[in-house]
Amino acid sequence: MSATATRNVGIPAGSLAVKPPAHPTYDLKGVIQLALSEDAGDRGDVTCKATIPVEMEVEAHFLAKEDGIVAGIALAEMVFNEVDPSLKVEWYRKDGDTVHKGLQFGKVHGRAHSIVVAERVVLNFMQRMSGIATLTKAMADAAHPAYILETRKTAPGLRLVLIGGGQNHRMGLFDMVMIKDNHISIAGGISNALKSVDLYLEQNNLQMGVEVETRTLEEVNQVLHYASTTKTSLSRIMLDNMVVPLSNGDVDISMLKEAVDLIAGRFETEASGNVTLETVYKIGQSGVTYISSGALTHSVKALDISLKIDTELALEVGKRTKRA
């Protein structure tokens, strides 16, 4: 998970594992400022003010409490810089690298007050991003040769999946035509919806990807018939809920494979629905081009990471609780 804007948001180039795609409105610095402001309220950190001398300096270390893929390093640097540009951050891993339980993979040095104020916002971003990157890597590996896609089912403002081998399905509503079930119902059928999209793109001189959702083999055939008789901008067919869960925990992909065979490479294909880490390998063997999973962003478990000044005590406690 990551996010960016078309403007310069000040991410250190060396920290970026993958260059984010541009977005016309997204302001990552604004998201960081909002997160810090949410924490500070109208008084600031009253505990820091009460317990920590303003000019005291310390060194705090990032500690992984479980195995996974680290992400959010570039964003963490932005948060520290926003709180206090004098803070010095050093990393022993980069975004997308593997970390193991008990590993110290970075440190920050400077005013104690500033480090503690930034701590929770930094960790909130990094833990969520690292959890998504960890699951994405596992699912991307299992899905091969299909590509894994995230969806828009995520916390607002935290959209991109860039680390771990996944891709964004689309950035938003503006950069790809995605004809879903409600559009089809309102338009009066798949052919009507496709015809309207083709006319709209032509009239507005727009070129972009066009995907249509199908739920039955009959709908797949309707799409193929339309495309065989009409010039169309259609580029991808979504095969929605054609993966059927079985009572033993397995899935039946026979309908999905039949749909892929019907399409026969004329369009990209995308499987959606009932995609989990346990089922994605079998789905990937169906011949689909892409597999999309909302679970990457809406149901992910955060990776346990902490930022500790007394790392020896933190490791001692971590070993006692099996978290280091």
The catalytic residue positions are: 120, 153, 180, 213, 240
H helix intervals, the chain = 28-40, 46-51, 73-83, 112-143, 181-187, 190-203, 217-229, 254-263, 280-284, 295-298, 311-320
Q: Which residues contact 237 (CB under 8 A, 6 or more apart)?
A: 211, 212, 214, 220, 223, 259, 263, 267, 268, 269, 270
Q: Please give the Cα distance from 178 to 181 (Å, whole number).
A: 10
Structure tokens that stand for 226 in this block: 């339309």
Element counts in the chain: helices (H) and strands (E): 11, 15
Query: How far apart, in whole angstroms, are the C-alpha atoms of residue 299 and residue 303?
Result: 13
Task: Look at residue 6 and give its three-state secondary structure.
Answer: coil
Alpha carbons 41 and 52: distance in angstroms, whole number: 19
3 state SS of 262: helix
Q: Residue type at 118?
A: A
Spatial separation of the C-alpha atoms in residues 91 and 108, rounded to whole Å: 9
CA atoms of 105 and 93, how far apart (whole Å): 6
